[in-house]
Amino acid sequence: MSHFTTKTSPEDDLYIMWSTVVDAPIYVFESTEDLRAYVTREYAQGRYATPPAEYIKRTQETGSSIRGWSVGKWDDEDQLVREGTPDPPAGHYWVLPRGNQTAYAKALLAEDDDLANSFLVAIPQDD
């Protein structure tokens, strides 16, 4: 699978689907039901190995649909974001702090790229 989903916060019913190929968001789901409909459709077409109920449960409980890795989990400090962003300062890359995911998702839904990008933080590449 070339993507995974994060729940933006335990309190909010927003989800971001991330590409692991380009390290960027590819879709924002406005509710658990929207995510469930997508995952159910993909599972029925053989594109997901994980049953929808398990996928949703893991995403809600841990913050991420990924099994085994810590990427996107509640205790993961940030999410790497590479594509669809302005060039980072030299020697840096962009990350989205975990606490900014809800605001970032809302900005993406509003199609306000400048606002969405304002939630990113430049981190030195050697960190």
Contact criterion met (CB below 8 Å) for 42 and 27? no
Q: At what angle do helices 52-62 and 32-44 cross, to 10 degrees?
A: 140
Written as one letter, the residue type at 56 is I
Distance CA(26)–CA(115), nearest Å, equals 17
One pLDDT digit (tens) per residue for the chain, 127 residues? 588 999 999 999 999 999 888 888 999 999 999 999 999 999 999 988 889 999 999 999 999 998 877 788 898 888 888 877 888 888 888 999 999 999 999 999 999 999 999 999 999 987 5
DSSP state of 30: S
At 81, list the tokens: 């974001």
Alpha helices, DSSP H, located in 29-122: 32-44, 52-62, 101-109, 113-117
For residue 109, give its domain range: 3-124
User: How many separate domains does the chain show?
Assistant: 1
Contact criterion met (CB below 8 Å) for 73 and 63? yes
Torsion angles phi and psi, residue 115, rounded to 5:
-65, -45
| pTM given for the model | 0.90
Please give the pLDDT value at position 1.
55
At 98, list the tokens: 């975990």
